[in-house]
Amino acid sequence: MSTFWRIKVDGWLGRALPGRCVFCLTPLPGEPPWCEACFSELPWNLSACPGCAEPQPLAARGRRCGHCLRRPPGFDRAWVPLRYDAEVAGLVQRFKFDASPRAGRVLLELMAAGLPAEARGWPEALVPVPLHPRRARERGFDQARWLSERLGRLLGCPLVLAQRTRDTRTQRGLDRGERRRNLRGAFRLTSGLPGRVALVDDVMTTGATLDALAVACRQAGAEEVQAWAVARTPAGRH
């Protein structure tokens, strides 16, 4: 990991969990705040479709998946460093449903570590995936905005907030096509966007939510759109 990210982010985890690995709680002699074994064994999304970040076999690394070839998403490419599995799934659940700041800081650190230099300097604005106001009130926490605000400070990149214009039904149990139809026209931006924007969410499942938001961003003036998330759900677990 680069010195830049250690300086910017590792301090948070050192203060939150001083002297112990954030995954196995093994005592550590110093920084970073995890042991090398745990970090290397995380479910990194190393072989992923560059279009939608869906995990791919090693033999297909660097090539677009069949879904992207048949129907390219509204965004140009995706950066999602981890798979939604094992320790990462547990962190996301604690962050998303329990509003755990400790889990959020770890996920932010992992996302930052997984973004290549070409991605970090690319966007002119970040657009978090918005919750509908009713759901935001019920949950009391907007995980995509939380991540985007802190990631934006790290990158020196402004946020532009989108609106969710209708409270769509849950995506759970819907197939890829049903998810797209469920979210059609669900987002709106009331201000113009710069040419390059990155959309931010915690988990990317089929990409339907980010696809619908990308369409709204292009209507608001964005010329190039990327989709960023912490973790990608493998095919078959949607």
Question: Structural domain boundaries of the chain?
Answer: 1-41, 44-232
Which long-range CB contacts under 8 A does 8-16 form with residues at least 24 apart? 8/112, 8/154, 9/105, 9/108, 9/109, 9/112, 9/154, 10/109, 12/105, 12/109, 13/105, 13/106, 13/109, 16/101, 16/102, 16/105
pTM of the model: 0.85
CATH architecture of 44-232: 3-Layer(aba) Sandwich (3.40)
The whole-angstrom separation of Cα 204 and Cα 192 is: 25
Residue of higher predicted confidence among 67 and 139 = 67
Residue of higher predicted confidence among 8 and 220 = 220
Mean predicted confidence (pLDDT) in 101-129: 93
pLDDT band of 53, cuts 50, 70, 90: very high
Q: What tokens does 104 get?
A: 């959020």
